[in-house]
C-alpha cells in the first residue's frame, strides 16, 4: 500500500516528513493475492485507511489502492474503507459491484464545514463539500456510506457536530461515527505550534480541554479510551453525537458484510483440484 512514514519506525518527523516522504508497496496487490491463496485462509473484513489514508494525492498516479480493491472484488472479499478524500470515486465501479453482494462499507471523514478552518487544518485534503458530494455519489451507487466526524477538536470544531451531521444526512449517509482528537508521540508539540499560529486566543483553553479528555495528559494510548476519551467534555461530546445521529436517522448499524462469497485466487497459476 501507499502510506506516510511512521516516525516511530522510520525516524522521520510527523510534520512535513509525514506528508512529503512516503513509502509505497507497488506489489501490494500481488502480496495480497498470495495471502488470500494460502491454504486455510479465513476471510474477514479487510480495512483500508485505518492507519493512513489510502487515497493520498499520489494514489492518482500509483493506483496501488485500486489494484488492491481489484483483487478483493475478484475474490469477493469483504472490505471497509475510511478516507477523507473524494478520490475514491475513481473506484466507484469496483465498490458498486462489491456492494451488490454486501461486501463493502465506506466511511468519509469530515472534520469541519468551514473552508477557512479546513485550509489550515487539512490544507491538502479535498474541500468538505467535495467529501459530502462523494457520500451522495456513493449512496446513489448503492455503496453503504457513513460520515466519520474526525477528529473532533474541543473549542475548534466541536461546535460543528450537529451541522456536519445534518449535512451528511442530507447527502444520504446512513450512519455516523466520530473520533476525538488524539496527540500521540511527536504530534502534540506540532499541534501546540499550530494552535499558537492559528488560534493564539484560545490555545490554553483547547489544551486544557484536551488534557481533561485524556486523563490529565496530552494523549491517552489506552485501547478502550483512546478513541472516545473520558471526563466531562468527552461525555458531553458523546451525548451530542448520539443525539444528533438519532435526530438525523443515522444511528443505525452498518449493514453486515458477507464473507461467504469469498473464492480464493489461484495458487501459482494453478486451480485447486478440490
Per-residue buried b or exposed e for 217-253, using 16+ beta carbons within 10 Å of the residue's own CB: ebbbeeeeeeebbbeebbeebeebbeebbeebebeee
* pLDDT of amino acid 29: 96
Is domain 17-247 annotated with CATH 3.40.50.720? no
Burial-class residue 9 by CB neighbours within 10 Å (0-12, 13-18, 19+). exposed
* Alpha carbon distance 141, 250 (integer Å): 19
DSSP state of 270: B
* pLDDT of amino acid 218: 86
Q: What is the pLDDT of residues 216-254, one digit of tens each?
A: 888 887 766 777 788 999 999 999 999 999 999 999 888
- Do you know the residue count of the chain? 274
How do strand 104-109 and strand 2-4 relate by DSSP bridges? Answer: unpaired
> What is the residue extent of each domain of the chain?
17-247
* pLDDT of amino acid 157: 97
Cα–chain center distance at 67? 19
Residue numbers in the chain where pLDDT is lower than 70: 1-20, 223-224, 267-274
Amino acid at each position: 500500500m501507499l502510506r506516510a512514514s511512521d516516525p516511530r519506525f522510520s525516524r522521520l518527523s510527523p510534520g512535513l516528513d509525514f506528508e512529503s516522504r512516503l513509502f509505497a508497496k507497488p506489489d501490494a496487490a500481488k502480496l495480497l493475492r498470495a495471502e488470500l491463496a494460502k491454504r486455510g485462509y479465513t476471510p474477514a473484513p479487510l480495512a483500508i485507511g485505518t492507519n493512513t489514508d489510502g487515497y493520498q494525492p499520489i494514489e492518482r498516479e500509483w493506483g496501488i489502492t485500486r489494484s488492491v480493491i481489484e483483487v478483493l472484488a475478484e475474490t469477493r472479499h469483504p472490505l471497509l474503507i475510511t478516507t477523507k478524500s473524494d478520490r475514491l470515486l475513481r473506484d466507484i465501479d469496483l465498490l458498486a459491484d462489491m456492494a451488490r453482494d454486501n461486501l463493502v462499507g465506506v466511511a468519509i471523514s469530515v472534520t469541519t464545514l468551514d473552508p477557512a478552518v479546513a485550509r489550515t487544518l487539512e490544507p491538502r485534503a479535498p474541500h468538505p463539500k467535495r467529501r459530502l458530494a462523494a457520500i451522495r455519489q456513493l449512496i446513489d451507487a448503492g455503496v453503504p456510506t457513513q460520515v466519520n466526524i474526525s477528529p473532533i477538536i474541543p473549542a475548534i470544531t466541536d461546535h460543528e457536530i450537529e451541522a456536519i451531521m445534518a449535512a451528511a444526512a442530507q447527502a444520504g449517509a446512513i450512519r455516523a461515527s466520530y473520533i476525538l482528537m488524539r496527540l500521540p508521540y511527536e504530534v502534540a508539540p506540532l499541534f501546540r505550534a499550530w494552535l499558537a499560529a492559528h488560534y493564539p486566543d484560545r490555545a490554553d483553553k483547547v489544551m486544557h480541554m484536551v488534557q481533561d479528555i485524556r486523563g490529565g495528559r496530552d494523549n491517552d494510548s489506552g485501547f478502550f479510551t483512546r478513541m472516545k476519551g473520558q471526563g466531562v467534555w468527552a461525555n458531553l461530546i458523546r451525548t451530542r453525537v448520539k443525539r444528533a445521529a438519532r435526530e438525523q436517522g443515522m444511528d443505525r448499524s452498518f449493514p453486515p458484510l458477507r464473507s461467504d462469497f469469498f473464492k480464493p485466487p489461484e495458487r501459482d497459476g494453478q486451480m485447486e483440484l478440490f
